[in-house]
Structure 1
Amino acid sequence: MNLDPSPLFALSLFPYLLFLHWLNKSKALPELAVWGFRLTLLFVAITIVAAVIALRCCDAELVDIDALHGGAEAFLTLGNAVLVAGLWKQPKQQKGE
């Protein structure tokens, strides 16, 4: 039996959007850290677009096209860097209060 995981991937979007909504309302993290989580969502969107381009233009999967795969992964690196910068900033803010 060969099941397509795509529907589960699409369904996972809703809990993540709820998480982002809660995170924004709760003000539990600095705004920069919240932007890191938002950029992670952008990474997912860019990866989907890059996978479609790889399939349509090159008749290959995304992992086989280094330029597209690396470009998509750069957005994950950016999101993670912004998230870490925001979390790094948090203890300094609390000390000052």
Structure 2
Amino acid sequence: MNKDTLFALSLFPYLGFLWFLTRSGKAPRLALIGFYVLLLFVAITIPAGIYAKVTYGKALANVDWLHGSAEFFLTLSNILVVLGFRQATLERQQEK
């Protein structure tokens, strides 16, 4: 199995994770938004990779400006998840 197939197949468990997490209603809202932004990262990375290959004849990782632009959404996702859980932790500590 090549890496592209594995990448595509990994989307389904992640969508299941999001579905259950959303339905549970127990995830901090900001963290949940961060998990959804990760889908945005994937949606941007795929066309960016195709553009890099067609326009520059290189892999996305070798076109710095394009790779960095796509990776911004991964960074944003991570920040939102961390801030969401941090906020929930602080709220929980204040309740005690």
TM-score, normalized by length of structure 2? 0.91
Match of 1:49 in 2: 47
CA RMSD of aligned residues (A): 1.2
Gaps of 5+ in 2: none
Match of 1:38 in 2: 36
Percent of residue pairs bearing the same amino acid type: 46
68-77 or 86-95, which moves further after superposition?
Answer: 86-95
AA matched with 2:15: L
Distance 1:16 1:40 in 2: 10
AA matched with 1:49: P
Aligned length: 95
TM-score, normalized by length of structure 1? 0.90
Match of 2:79 in 1: 81
SS in structure 2 opposite 1:28?
Answer: coil
Gaps of 5+ in 1: none
- 1:96 deviation in Å? 4.1
Is 2:93 the counterpart of 1:95?
A: yes
Residue in structure 2 matching 1:12, options 10, 23, 43: 10
